[in-house]
């Protein structure tokens, strides 16, 4: 019996690798925050800011910019990878995995102050994980996406982001009325004899939207069964979402293996921050990562710079969406009545142009003419583009 209890206790210690991480706390304000990873084979991005942490009641947090920041990545074999201009981007596409790396940042907090040099610790690159299949599961109007990651890296810890591309339609589709933006005259395309004119004259009904996740997510999979993360849910989407309505929703998963120390650091930030885990708004105290002042080891920047190789995989999401119905009455406005009161002597065609300047467009709908916000027809106004972005084939 005693022997069995000892074995059980040992197994619990081995399999329970997630343990609390208590970050050091500082009451100082304006500490430098540095975000970014040294990701070999990609263009890595680094950024710097200064943070004002939450007050004693956890009410607010804000950040202020630094006056100047420059970055570079140093390799232990002597190679140096410099920033592209002042963008924070460093091209590491040709960087090899056979040496150790560190990030070096030169930060000037305010005009007239001396620059301070911060550097991350030297690290060997973590190997890229293998991205397995993406699992789709739809139930009760919600699509759940789950990922599978595996790696020989000893930590069993992963970090990932994702990028999205989807084809979506403006809420009301194409208007059948065309407003001449020079004269203010309105042309009804439903009277056209050419069906192509009726259907194709408006070019902004369909757009592509390209977005990315707002933060990195992390997970640990280390256990007696190995370091495989199985069917880990990471994203849920309502089936009524515009992302799914056209059946052209694509997701690019970007995954890394990371050291356990980086996992514990990022997990503490993600769990504690009210701003989706951004390092620029840590809770309520500041957290020590692996970035130190080169001249003063007791001084540190908030952040943890890892060194890794990145795995990317593009998925087409097949779960169909059901779309949404947009009632024109819910968007209609008496904009012409308002304008007529403001400009009683203005001719009707000029009132039409004035309504357009205010962000409205004509729409024919039983029982007559309505004026709806232009975004109801123009998908570009929600941030999309009619042309499919490159890199998604």
Q: Tell me what percent of the chain is helix, strand and coil, each rounded to the nearest 5.
A: 15, 40, 45
Write the pLDDT tens digit of every residue in 359-391: 999 887 666 788 899 989 899 999 999 999 998
* CB-based contact 126:259 (threshold 8 Å): yes
Q: What is the mean pLDDT of residues 278-288?
A: 49
Range 5-36 burial, b when 16+ CB lie within 10 A, else e: eeeeeeeeeeeebeeebebeeeeeeebbbbbb
Q: In the chain, pLDDT over 90 holds for what percent of residues?
A: 50
Q: Per-residue pLDDT tens for 13-48?
A: 333 333 343 334 343 446 888 999 999 999 999 999
Greatest mean pLDDT among 24-28, 106-110, 305-309 lies in: 305-309
Question: In the chain, what are the domain boundaries?
Answer: 26-125+281-305, 177-202+327-382
- 369 beta partners: 364
DSSP per-residue letters across 271-315: HH-SSTT-TTS--SS--EEEEEESS-TT-EEE----EEE-EEEEE
Residue count of the chain: 393
Mean pLDDT of the region 50-75: 70
Confidence of residue 122 (pLDDT cuts 50, 70, 90): very high
CATH fold group of domain 26-125+281-305: Immunoglobulin-like (2.60.40)
In tens, the pLDDT along 204-230 reads 999 999 998 877 788 888 664 568 899
Instruction: Work out the pLDDT band at 78, boundaries 50, 70, 90.
Output: very high
């Amino acid at each position: 019996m005693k022997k069995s209890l000892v074995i059980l206790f040992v197994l619990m210690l081995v399999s329970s690798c997630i343990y609390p991480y208590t970050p050091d706390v500082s009451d100082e304000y304006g500490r430098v925050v540095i975000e970014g990873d040294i990701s070999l084979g990609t263009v890595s991005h680094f950024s710097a800011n200064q943070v004002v942490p939450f007050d004693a009641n956890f009410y607010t947090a804000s950040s202020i910019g630094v006056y100047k920041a420059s970055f570079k990545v140093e390799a232990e074999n002597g190679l140096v990878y410099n920033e592209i201009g002042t963008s924070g981007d460093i091209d590491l596409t040709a960087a090899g995995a056979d040496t150790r790396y560190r990030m070096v940042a030169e930060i000037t907090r305010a005009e007239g102050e001396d620059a301070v040099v911060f550097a991350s610790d030297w690290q060997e690159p973590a190997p890229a994980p293998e991205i397995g299949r993406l699992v789709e599961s739809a139930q009760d109007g919600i699509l759940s996406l789950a990922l599978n990651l595996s790696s020989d890296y000893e930590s069993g810890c992963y970090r990932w982001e994702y990028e999205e591309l989807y084809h979506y339609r403006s809420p009301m589709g194409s208007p059948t009325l065309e407003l001449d933006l020079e004269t203010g005259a309105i042309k009804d395309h439903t009277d056209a004899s050419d069906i192509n004119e009726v259907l194709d004259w408006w070019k902004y009904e369909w757009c592509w939207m390209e977005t990315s996740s707002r933060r990195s997510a992390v997970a640990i999979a280390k256990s007696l069964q190995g370091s495989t993360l199985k069917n880990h849910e990471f994203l849920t989407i309502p089936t009524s979402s515009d992302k799914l309505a056209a059946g052209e929703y694509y997701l690019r998963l970007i995954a890394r293996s990371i050291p356990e120390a980086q996992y514990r650091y990022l997990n503490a930030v993600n769990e504690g921050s009210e701003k989706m885990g951004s390092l620029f708004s840590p809770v309520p105290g500041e957290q020590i990562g692996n970035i130190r002042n080169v001249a003063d080891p007791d001084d540190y920047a908030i952040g943890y710079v890892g060194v890794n190789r990145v795995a990317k995989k593009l998925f087409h999401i097949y779960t169909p969406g059901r779309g949404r119905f947009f009632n024109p009455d819910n968007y209609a406005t008496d904009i012409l009545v308002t304008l007529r009161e403001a400009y009683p002597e203005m001719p009707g065609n000029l009132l039409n142009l004035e309504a357009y300047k205010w962000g409205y467009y004509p729409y024919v709908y039983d029982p007559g003419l309505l004026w709806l916000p232009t975004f109801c027809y123009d998908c570009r106004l929600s941030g999309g583009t009619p042309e499919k972005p490159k890199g998604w084939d």
